[in-house]
Amino acid sequence: MAGIMAYGAYIPWLRLERKLIAESWGIPGAPGEIAVANFDEDSITMGVEAARDCIQDDPDGVGGLYFASTTAPYAAKSSATVVAAVLDLANDAVTADFGASLGSGLAALVAASEAVDSGAASSVLVAAAECQSARPKTADEQTLGDGAGAILVGKGDAIAEIKGVYTSYDEMMGAWKLPGETLSRESNPRWYTAKGFIPDIAGAIKEAIASFGVAPDNIAKLVVAAPDFRTHQQIAKALGIKDPAKVQDALFAFVGGCGAAQPLMMLAGALEDASPGDKIILAGGGDTFDVVLLEVTDKIKDLAPRRAIKGHMASKKNLDSYARFLARKDMVPAEPDENVSSAIQMWRDRKSVLPLYGKKCEACETVYFPPRRVCPNCHEYDKNVDWKLAKKGVLWNSIDDMLAPNPEPPTTLTISDLEGGGRIFLQMTDREAGTTELGMPVELTFRIIHEGGGFHNYFWKTRPVRQGGIENG
């Protein structure tokens, strides 16, 4: 059967302490914090980051991309193709979008394993991401977080083999959104979790374990997604699991509930600490409930280090006010941007904009960006080849611009020298103004540039290398 070849995750740099939400409304607050996407992030950009972490910026051999989200930035356009293009996957890679349900991330993983088993694809990279908004002064506002997870499914030297899959469903009105809505509706959360979600997912796990022929005591880790911290605890109780070490952290304390991305993020966290021979039960859902049995192999010892959950958790900045959080969630009216863009121009420049290709002169070997026909160094005409730029480098120069439009000025403009050649002019994100230093290491991250032409305009930005994760790899 298919197996897990690699894993990755992404957690935004910004966090908000829950006490700031509570203090703003004069209501009880929970401990901990939630992860908050920056103003230039959405589900696509976070899905890209998790996928890059998973495959380590090496698309060679990846045969497909499945993208799952209930907060995808497009309603009638594929987001999977955007992510695949940024990752520079081959044009014949299979792509598909999954959504509508909080179980779509795990459903995409199951579909990927079936595609690999059937021979429809040699491997499929599954990325799930959520950039969520909640109604102010609700429990969801202190519960929901932003983040992404990615799993590469393939055959061969898997770090974890997929030993079984079980699926069931139950139709209940728990939480939902109508077309065009960004905020979820819900009936009665206590009724839904008590009468629906908990017995449904606990029952699915029990049936799955029985059908897999695995003794419950032989399961090393239960990775089960849930809508909130209390429900997560009650699922373990319903299953009779008394040892908390056997239940994977659901990330509610310092990230929040990440919807469709939660099962993949939790699985990445479980695999960070897994040992060969461990049996892992992965479960989640929203009306449809999927349960997957995994067995970790010796190959996990050879997997290159990545940021995944631990590295991203260790790198953060806390927002200093609830108002800044509301602004990032588009809950505060703002002056509309007056940007113009062209779908035709975006199509023409897609290779340089998305996977970031420049040119390399065949005469003098100068690497340059943006791509053009005349070498800026030796001025040879049409003697060049496409050259994929590296995503790491050092800062050559920068300036903080107070005049350029920015939700939170100044706009830090940078010129960076990239590894392997090429000097590039980009905005900087995820940084504190005035803290940049010439010669500091930087890395490139895919972000929203502006809204124009009626569609989202993406490009790359620099950021200081996030500490706490891998610096090289």
pLDDT digits (tens, 9 = 90+) for 330-381: 777 766 666 778 899 999 999 999 999 999 999 999 999 999 999 999 999 9
Decide if 309 is inside a domain. yes
Residues 6+ apart with CB under 8 A from 363: 375, 378, 380, 383
392-401/357-361 β-pairing: unpaired
CA nearest to 73, candidates 17, 34, 131: 131
Which residue is associated with the tokens 């959950």?
Answer: 309
Is there a contact between 261 and 105 (Cβ–Cβ < 8 Å)? yes
Q: What pLDDT is attached to residue 190? A: 86
The dihedral sign for the CA sequence 74, 265, 9, 127? negative
Q: What pLDDT is attached to residue 472? A: 35
Residue ranges making up the domain that contains 213: 3-328
Is there a contact between 202 and 219 (Cβ–Cβ < 8 Å)? no
Residues 284 and 393 in one domain: no
Report the C-alpha gap between 274 and 271 in whole angstroms.
Answer: 5
Mark which of 328, 363, 385 sits at the end of a domain: 328
Residues 318 and 364 in one domain: no
- For the beta sheet containing 357-361, the strands, ordered from the edge strand earlier in sequence to the opposite edge, are 367-368, 357-361, 384-388
Report the C-alpha gap between 92 and 82 in whole angstroms.
Answer: 14
**Residue 362: other Cβ atoms inside 10 A:** 13
Residues 366 and 314 in one domain: no
Strands, E assignment, 347-454: 357-361, 367-368, 384-388, 392-401, 411-418, 423-428, 441-452
Decide if 470 is inside a domain. no
Q: What pLDDT is attached to residue 341? A: 86
Query: Between the CA of residue 380 and those of 246, 282, 349, 420, 431, what are the distances in Å?
Result: 63, 57, 22, 21, 39
Q: What pLDDT is attached to residue 471? A: 45
Residues 369 and 320 in one domain: no
Structural domain count, the chain: 2
247 DSSP assignment: B
Residues 6+ apart with CB under 8 A from 10: 46, 47, 49, 50, 53, 129, 147, 148, 149, 150, 307, 312
Q: What pLDDT is attached to residue 335? A: 66
Report the C-alpha gap between 338 and 336 in whole angstroms.
Answer: 6
- CA 166-150-440 angle, 5° bins: 165
Query: Between the CA of residue 83 and those of 142, 143, 313, what are the distances in Å?
Result: 29, 27, 23
Residues 317 and 443 in one domain: no
pLDDT under 70 in the chain at which residues?
334-338, 468-473
Residues 182 and 237 in one domain: yes
The helix/strand/coil state of 355 is coil
Is there a contact between 350 and 88 (Cβ–Cβ < 8 Å)? no
CA nearest to 389, candidates 413, 411, 368: 368
Q: In the numeric block, which tokens belong to residue 92? A: 């014949």
Which residue is associated with the tokens 């895919």?
Answer: 446
Residues 402 and 435 in one domain: yes
CA 82 to mean position of chain CA atoms: 14
Report the C-alpha gap between 127 and 117 in whole angstroms.
Answer: 19
Question: Which H helix or E strand runs over 97?
Answer: strand 94-98
Q: Where are the alpha helices (DSSP H) in 91-226?
A: 104-118, 139-143, 189-192, 198-212
217 DSSP assignment: G
Is there a contact between 419 and 367 (Cβ–Cβ < 8 Å)? no
Residues 292 and 437 in one domain: no
Decide if 409 is inside a domain. yes
The helix/strand/coil state of 1 is coil
Decide if 343 is inside a domain. no
The model carries a pTM of 0.94
Report the C-alpha gap between 368 and 375 in whole angstroms.
Answer: 8
**CATH number of residue 110's parent domain:** 3.40.47.10
Is there a contact between 204 and 164 (Cβ–Cβ < 8 Å)? no
Residues 21 and 137 in one domain: yes
374 DSSP assignment: B
Mark which of 328, 343, 377 sits at the end of a domain: 328
Decide if 334 is inside a domain. no
Which residue is associated with the tokens 């605890």?
Answer: 233
CA nearest to 306, candidates 110, 149, 105: 149
Cis peptide before 370 (omega within 30 of 0): yes
Number of helical (H) and strand (E) elements in the chain, helices listed first: 13, 22
Decide if 366 is inside a domain. yes
Residues 140 and 232 in one domain: yes
Q: What pLDDT is attached to residue 468? A: 66
Residues 145 and 268 in one domain: yes
Residues 88 and 133 in one domain: yes
Decide if 473 is inside a domain. no
Decide if 346 is inside a domain. no
Is there a contact between 347 and 453 (Cβ–Cβ < 8 Å)? no
